[in-house]
Structure 1
């Protein structure tokens, strides 16, 4: 059986943390919360807006509207085109040519996911896009990965998940996938501490070929 390749989106297929951080900074400063890189990585990175706002703005009158406003501003600031993670398009082209099942598994809301995939010119590669907030539970729970695995019709042990956050790594591992951490924001040690089997600098990392050879049918 050929394996499936499951891709987190933001921080894995492209790096937009700087845009998100700037939007959060502008939005939260009037509410008395200073967002620097350390705060962003500890409290915001990889989480749903709803979870962050529940913790840090429990008295917000309309947290859903705040979340919608934040993401609309992110989409407004996202350049088109936007650079994909190095080596991503080559891997997607090889996987598509080999007929491998592939999917996006993300905690981003659907309009953001669509905008980011279009910005990096990768939308046509994916028929299956699983959105965390549309599942019973988002990452770090395994539900989004389990939904993608079911949709693609593959066994969990025949899936490779690419992730950049601890919550995503934990979700992929809990679903039974082989979890690869992309070191876009975090170190090898931090990603392995979250449960990553291996880590890569990006999709041009020579270690990727060795990993892919472990799975039948993956073009190295």
Structure 2
């Protein structure tokens, strides 16, 4: 069955926002005299539970910490780190190649639209996408709802659509919705298990989109 559409995760896939978020949490924990266990981060990466999980863990390690006061500070630090961030290497090439092949494009992200859409605009890639499905409107990954919503918005089936993900939770979501899934881990997630993905690439520059379309 020919490929008619591509669906991309946002955080960590289109742009390496996860490095900035992880660094912010590591700094926050260290500011309170404790270390963030990476296994706790990996347990929630790619889901909608990162912020509450991190604050719960910090409260467990530092009883009485004022998490409400920390919320605007952590958010501001993330945006400070993201100011100069661009798309991951090779992403724009994939989007341009998809446009040349007449493929439909969507984003499926567990993050909110208030987070995803401004970043897509800032990165200069919002215009490529026919649909943006986010976690404030659909159940987050690893459930399949976001990918099912993307298929519905694009008018394609799972068998005609390739997903691009950077976390095992995301791969689980895409596969549960019936999509072929290409994992493109980043520096934060490259050590995780991507055995459920159909293809694993070290980067978007490792293989041209055309090679995936003819696979």
TM-score range, shorter chain: 0.7 to 0.9
C-alpha distance in 2 between matches for 1:50 and 1:189: 20
Q: SS state of the match for residue 190, structure 1?
A: coil
Deviation by residue 1:99-136 (Cα, 9 ceiling, x = unmatched): 2110011112223212332332211112311112321x
After superposition, residues 1-220 of structure 1 pair within 5 angstroms as 2-29=3-30, 33-35=34-36, 38-39=38-39, 41-48=41-48, 49=50, 52-53=53-54, 56=57, 57=59, 70-80=74-84, 82-135=85-138, 137-184=139-186, 185-187=188-190, 190-192=193-195, 195-206=196-207, 208-214=209-215
- Assess, with a 3 A threshold, how the Cα gap between structure 1 residues 140 and 16 changes in structure 2: closer, same or farther: same
Cα RMSD, aligned residues only: 2.9
C-alpha distance in 2 between matches for 1:24 and 1:107: 19
Deviation by residue 1:139-176 (Cα, 9 ceiling, x = unmatched): 01000100011010001111100000011010000000
Structure 2 unaligned blocks of 5 or more: none
C-alpha distance in 2 between matches for 1:102 and 1:6: 6
Q: SS state of the match for residue 173, structure 1?
A: helix
Is this contact kept in 2: 1:21–1:35, CA < 8 A? no
Is this contact kept in 1: 2:113–2:135, CA < 8 A? no
Give the TM-score, by structure 2 length.
Answer: 0.81
C-alpha distance in 1 between matches for 2:64 and 2:150: 33
- Assess, with a 3 A threshold, how the Cα gap between structure 1 residues 28 and 187 changes in structure 2: closer, same or farther: closer
Give the TM-score, by structure 1 length.
Answer: 0.80
- Assess, with a 3 A threshold, how the Cα gap between structure 1 residues 160 and 78 changes in structure 2: closer, same or farther: same
Q: SS state of the match for residue 88, structure 2?
A: coil
- Assess, with a 3 A threshold, how the Cα gap between structure 1 residues 165 and 99 changes in structure 2: closer, same or farther: same
Is this contact kept in 2: 1:200–1:208, CA < 8 A? no
Structure 1 unaligned blocks of 5 or more: 215-220
Q: How far off its partner does 1:98 sit? A: 2.6
Q: SS state of the match for residue 79, structure 2?
A: helix
Is this contact kept in 2: 1:108–1:131, CA < 8 A? yes
- Assess, with a 3 A threshold, how the Cα gap between structure 1 residues 101 and 208 changes in structure 2: closer, same or farther: closer
